[in-house]
Structure 1
Amino acid sequence: MKTFEVPVIYRSPLISAIKNSRKQQDRMKKDFTPTTLDFGPLKILLARHFGFCYGVENAIEIAFKTVEENPGKRIFLLSEMIHNPHVNNDLLQRGVQFIMDTSGKQLVPWESLNETDIVIIPAFGTTLEIESQLSSLGIEPLKYNTTCPFVERVWNKAEQIGKKDYTVIVHGKPNHEETRATFSHSRFNTATIVVKDMSEALQLATFITGEKPAAAFDQYFKGQYSPGFDVEKDLQRVGVVNQTTMLATETQAIADYIRQVMMEKYQLTENNIGERFADTRDTLCYATNDNQSAVTGMLQVPADMAIVVGGYNSSNTSHLVELCEEKLPTYFISAEDKLLNAEELLHWDFHHKQELHSRKFLPVKDQVTILLTSGASCPDAVVEGVIRKLLSFYGIEDKADALTATFANT
């Protein structure tokens, strides 16, 4: 797989040594057990896969090269490059401006842009409408395009099945940048609807079967379907694609459920299900799969608590938190500075969108075991910072350097 030129400030000698060692031992990526870092009073179980994915590294390389190669020019990002505050702040400090926030609210008026400006499309991609807007301003919309290749693969699959007269069901958060982009590209070719979770998939099924009347469709899916959507006609042939950062298991569960509904309604078999349901399993992102599988593997090992590191508005990170919360007390932090001291920390409650201040988060025992992972947009340097901060609470931060040397020599 291609390697990228990512700023050294995001790299970590310790994490790189650990990842390289695991890669040598498990080149086929079949082993999802965590890496054990035993520091005596503190044991850290580090997920097998975590941190920057292919799409994120690709986006960072393009964005930073664009800044370096265009001194004196005005450079804009449509919105946040990725959902990580460290990377976005670094770009802001280099003079990059955001045209919109993550919800699509305009921060820089379109009319203030001109054809000499540079506009970077973030890793989530963008809508066809925004591409058209940029073109109308004389700005080549895809010249500085950092859209993740795996997001584009979803668009390609949606186009492919759309041209075969399947309606596209997008599993994603309706207001997320990636879902908005996927919806825009898909609806250009075919009828499209967004479902955010299994609950909405269950509701959609009642319209597929006719249990609920078409007239009630807008009540359940207002703002989540393409113009002119015909409930009676457009739900006869369907396929499911996803926002790549959703829970892979949930996307598959939704696809399997809708598939079964179509089989029962039209009395189909495994041999002819393709007449009504498109196979789209190849749209699941490898990094999302690997990171989530690594957390599942990590949770098989006894531990006292879990820490998940990443941007608070990161979808893929929040799903790692969800998985950990099912089994352990879990703290979602954005960086080491959220670990205030051995008694207190600040952490994000993504269910209620608020930062909490908790005390006595570390158990009092001879050896505390912590599961540790991070989202796909979190720099490894931040994860090392968290490890060092935890070690400092036990007065053993120097052990991190010795560990780096140990893994580098394995």
Structure 2
Amino acid sequence: MKSFDVPVVYRSPLISAIKKKRKEEDRMKKDFSPTLLDFGPIRIFLARHFGFCYGVENAIDIAFKTVEEHQGKRIYLLSEMIHNPYVNRDLKAKGVSFLQDNAGRQIIPFESLTSDDIVLIPAFGTTLEIEEKLRKIGIRIENYDTTCPFVEKVWNRSEVIAKNEYTIVIHGKPNHEETRATFSHAAANAPAVVVKDMKQTQELAKYITGEKPAEQFYTEFACQYSEGFDVTKHLQRLGVVNQTTMLASDTQAIADFLKQTVMRHYELTEDTVRERFADTRDTLCYATNDNQSAVTGMLATEADLAVVVGGYNSSNTSHLVELCEEKLPTYFINNEEKILSAQTIMHYNFHTHQELVTEHYLPAKEPVTVLITSGASCPDALVEGVIKKLAGFYPSSKSIEEIAKQFG
């Protein structure tokens, strides 16, 4: 796989050594057990896979090279490069300006741009409408498009199933940049509708079977269906794709549910179901799958708590938190500074979108066992910072250097 030039400030010597050793021992990526860092009074289990994925490293590589190679030019980001505040902060510090916020609201009007300007497309991709606006200004986006290849794979798959006259069902968060981009690309080729979860999928199924009146669909799914969508016609043949950062198991469950609905309603078998339901399992992102499987493997370890590191607006990170929360106390933080002391931690509740303060999060015993993972847009350096902070609360702990030697 291609390697990228990622700024050293985002790297961690410790974690790079761990990942290198695990990769050498498990080249086929079949072992999802965590890695033990035994400091003595605190034992930290790191997930097998975490941190920057291929698409994120690709985006960072292109963005920072663009800045270096075009000194003096006006450089813009369409919106956040990735959902990590530190990477976006560093790009702003280098003079990059943001045209939109994450919700697509304009910060700098497109009318102020010229053909001499550079506009970076973020890893989530963008809509066809925005691409066309930029091209009309004369801005060449091809060389500065950091769209994740696995997002593009979803778009390409959508185009293929559209040609076979399937309606495209997108599992994603309706307002997320990636879902808006995928919806735009899908709707250009076929009728499309977004479902945000299984509950909405179950309601959509009632329009397939006729349990709900067709006219109700347009209210219930307002702003989630393509122009000209005809609920009486466009739910007869379906294919499911996803926002790549969603829980893979949720996307698969949604696809399976709709497939079973179609099979029952049209009296189809496994041999004939493709007449009305497309097989799209190959659109699930490998990194999302690996990181989520690694968390599942990590959770098989008995532990006192879990710490998940990443941007608070990161969809893939919130799903890792969701998995951990099912098993044990979980603290979602974006850097080691949120660990205020051995007694107090400030952490994010992504359900309520609030930062909370919890006291006595570390149990008064030794050894304490902590599980740690991070989102796909989180630099490894931040994870090392969290490890150092936690281990530093125990005077008799081994040093980071001693731990690193085990993986050298």
Q: TM-score, normalised to structure 2's length?
A: 0.99
- Work out the CA distance in 1 between the residues paired with 2:366 and 2:116: 62
- Work out the CA distance in 2 between the residues paired with 1:231 and 1:325: 38
- Work out the CA distance in 2 between the residues paired with 1:286 and 1:227: 32
| 1:9-28 matched pairs, under 5 angstroms | 9-28=9-28
- Alignment match, 2:257: 257
- Alignment match, 1:373: 373
Deviation at 1:238, TM superposition (A): 0.4
Amino acid aligned to 2:303: A
Q: Secondary structure at the match of 1:278?
A: coil
- Work out the CA distance in 2 between the residues paired with 1:287 and 1:375: 10
- Work out the CA distance in 2 between the residues paired with 1:63 and 1:332: 27
- Alignment match, 1:152: 152
| 1:2-401 matched pairs, under 5 angstroms | 2-395=2-395, 399-401=399-401
Kept in 2: contact 1:389–1:397 (CA 8 A):
no
Deviation at 1:398, TM superposition (A): 5.8
Kept in 2: contact 1:80–1:122 (CA 8 A):
yes
Amino acid aligned to 2:269: T
Q: Secondary structure at the match of 1:312?
A: coil
- Work out the CA distance in 1 between the residues paired with 2:173 and 2:192: 14
Amino acid aligned to 2:392: S
- Work out the CA distance in 2 between the residues paired with 1:166 and 1:43: 51
Amino acid aligned to 1:303: A
Amino acid aligned to 2:107: L
Kept in 2: contact 1:331–1:347 (CA 8 A):
yes
Kept in 1: contact 2:51–2:377 (CA 8 A):
yes
- Work out the CA distance in 1 between the residues paired with 2:345 and 2:105: 32
Return structure 1 stretches of 4+ with deviation > 4 angstroms: none
Amino acid aligned to 2:386: V
Q: Secondary structure at the match of 2:161?
A: helix
Amino acid aligned to 1:229: F
- Work out the CA distance in 2 between the residues paired with 1:345 and 1:70: 42
Q: Secondary structure at the match of 2:15?
A: helix
CA deviation vs aligned residue, 1:103-122 (integer Å, no higher than 9, x gap): 11110011111110000000
**Cα distance change on mapping 1:365 and 1:178 into 2, 3 Å:** same
Q: Secondary structure at the match of 1:231?
A: coil
- Work out the CA distance in 1 between the residues paired with 2:329 and 2:285: 28
Deviation at 1:142, TM superposition (A): 2.4
- Work out the CA distance in 2 between the residues paired with 1:398 and 1:260: 54
Amino acid aligned to 2:205: A
- Work out the CA distance in 2 between the residues paired with 1:366 and 1:293: 29
Kept in 1: contact 2:342–2:362 (CA 8 A):
yes
Kept in 1: contact 2:38–2:403 (CA 8 A):
no
Counterpart check, 1:407 vs 2:407: yes
Amino acid aligned to 1:383: V
Kept in 1: contact 2:39–2:403 (CA 8 A):
no
Q: Secondary structure at the match of 1:36?
A: strand
Deviation at 1:368, TM superposition (A): 0.5
Aligned pair count?
408
Kept in 1: contact 2:39–2:398 (CA 8 A):
no
- Work out the CA distance in 2 between the residues paired with 1:405 and 1:334: 27
Deviation at 1:393, TM superposition (A): 1.0
- Work out the CA distance in 2 between the residues paired with 1:242 and 1:179: 8
- Work out the CA distance in 2 between the residues paired with 1:398 and 1:139: 54
Deviation at 1:396, TM superposition (A): 5.1
- Work out the CA distance in 2 between the residues paired with 1:42 and 1:404: 16
CA deviation vs aligned residue, 1:30-51 (integer Å, no higher than 9, x gap): 0001001111110001000000
CA deviation vs aligned residue, 1:319-356 (integer Å, no higher than 9, x gap): 00000000000000000111111111110000000111
Kept in 1: contact 2:311–2:334 (CA 8 A):
yes
Kept in 2: contact 1:388–1:397 (CA 8 A):
no
- Work out the CA distance in 2 between the residues paired with 1:141 and 1:229: 31
- Work out the CA distance in 2 between the residues paired with 1:313 and 1:289: 19
Kept in 1: contact 2:40–2:398 (CA 8 A):
no
- Work out the CA distance in 2 between the residues paired with 1:44 and 1:95: 38
Deviation at 1:75, TM superposition (A): 0.2
Kept in 1: contact 2:307–2:370 (CA 8 A):
yes
**Cα distance change on mapping 1:48 and 1:348 into 2, 3 Å:** same
- Work out the CA distance in 2 between the residues paired with 1:301 and 1:342: 23
Deviation at 1:395, TM superposition (A): 2.6
| Unmatched tracts of structure 2, length 5 or more | none
Kept in 1: contact 2:74–2:118 (CA 8 A):
yes
* Bigger Cα displacement from structure 2, 376-385 vs 390-399: 390-399
Q: Secondary structure at the match of 1:56?
A: helix
Q: TM-score, normalised to structure 1's length?
A: 0.99
